[in-house]
Amino acid sequence: MLYNLETKEYYVVRAKAVVITTGGFGRLHIQGFPTTNHYGATADGVVMAYRAGVGLQDLDSTQYHPTGAIYPEQNVGLLITEKVRGLGAQLLNTEGEQFCFPLEPRDVESACVIRECMETGKGILTPTGRHGVWLDSPMIDMLHGEGTVRKELPAKYIQFKRYDIDISKVPMLIYPTLHYQNGGIRINEWAETTVKGLYSAGEVAGGVHGRNRLMGNSLLDVLVFGRRAGLRAAEYMKSVKTPAKLTLGHVDKFNKEIEKAGIDNGIETPLLLPNYAPDHVRARQIS
């Protein structure tokens, strides 16, 4: 089913096979964390699959990347690549202590940072009232020679220089950021779901990496299972007749369920992107 933004009408597309590839759910900000994910990462595919009766798995398992920027405010949640630690930068607390071996897997590293900030009280309070620890990027130039940060990490250098912070001279402030959806739509090795004709691939599909993905292999999984889903969907389409007449009954059913649950979020049309407007601005939008 598609939605026409101009006419504000739904219309039904007769699809014999469907492949859901809507990506992760970082924009749900689980546990209130910032995220590295783009604004479209709102779990739509998981919800659609669930409502179609598809099995899901490991939805309680999310990956927090240990080094998300936490200052300045405009950078909050943005990814600071593992390459920074790979080049020799250390995580340090407010006393300058190295509290964690810097090349642990993401979950261990994230847990160390959270503990340092929330339990031992040795985190750093940022000027905007958030907690974080130092990632001492100047160490990279000390180890490998002046100019290495600019040469090896140009995107990160620019990302901070924009706010007059030179990360080759001063350390970054970081905190874990919601990065990857480990669980999702249950698929088999051919990207088939438990509903015939419905396939899924990429981050929205759960379980390919178990409950904890290692860095760097999501793009591999996207290609492998994307291809497999496409192949199987094409085969399936050749083997079935055009489906019977489709209806919008499921939209009515959804609306009735929302009403029965007493949910009135004031949203009249589908929301393409999350609304990040502060409460006082939203109040004006609604009135």
Ligand X SMILES: Cc1cc2nc3c(=O)[nH]c(=O)nc-3n(C[C@H](O)[C@H](O)[C@H](O)COP(=O)(O)OP(=O)(O)OC[C@H]3O[C@@H](n4cnc5c(N)ncnc54)[C@H](O)[C@@H]3O)c2cc1C
In sequence order, what are the residues at sequence separation of 6 or more whose Cβ sits closer than 8 angstroms to the Cβ of residue 282? 275
Smallest distance, ligand X to C-beta of residue 190, A: 17
Q: How far apart are CA 103 and CA 83, in angstroms?
A: 10
Smallest distance, ligand X to C-beta of residue 265, A: 17
Smallest distance, ligand X to C-beta of residue 167, A: 17
Q: DSSP code of 136? A: -
Residue placing its CB nearer to ligand X in the complex, 119 or 268? 268
* Dihedral over Cα of 63, 33, 186, 10: its sign: negative
Q: How far apart are CA 220 and CA 237, in angstroms?
A: 26
Q: DSSP code of 66? A: E
Q: How far apart are CA 257 and CA 269, in angstroms?
A: 16
Residue placing its CB nearer to ligand X in the complex, 37 or 93? 37
Residue placing its CB nearer to ligand X in the complex, 171 or 202? 202
Residue placing its CB nearer to ligand X in the complex, 140 or 179? 179
Smallest distance, ligand X to C-beta of residue 93, A: 26
Of 177, 35, 175, residue with least CA distance to 113: 175
Residue placing its CB nearer to ligand X in the complex, 168 or 200? 200
Smallest distance, ligand X to C-beta of residue 76, A: 14
Count of CB atoms situated within 10 Å of the CB of 138: 16
Cβ atoms of residues 141 and 129 within 8 Å? no
Count of CB atoms situated within 10 Å of the CB of 273: 10
Cβ atoms of residues 67 and 167 within 8 Å? no
Residue placing its CB nearer to ligand X in the complex, 219 or 244? 219
> Binding residues for ligand X, per CB under 6 A?
21-23, 36-37, 40-41, 44, 79, 180, 202-204, 216-219, 222
Smallest distance, ligand X to C-beta of residue 275, A: 16
Type of residue at 261: A
Q: Which residues are the active-site residues?
A: 65, 85
Q: How far apart are CA 158 and CA 154, in angstroms?
A: 6
- State the residue number with the nearest CB to ligand X: 202
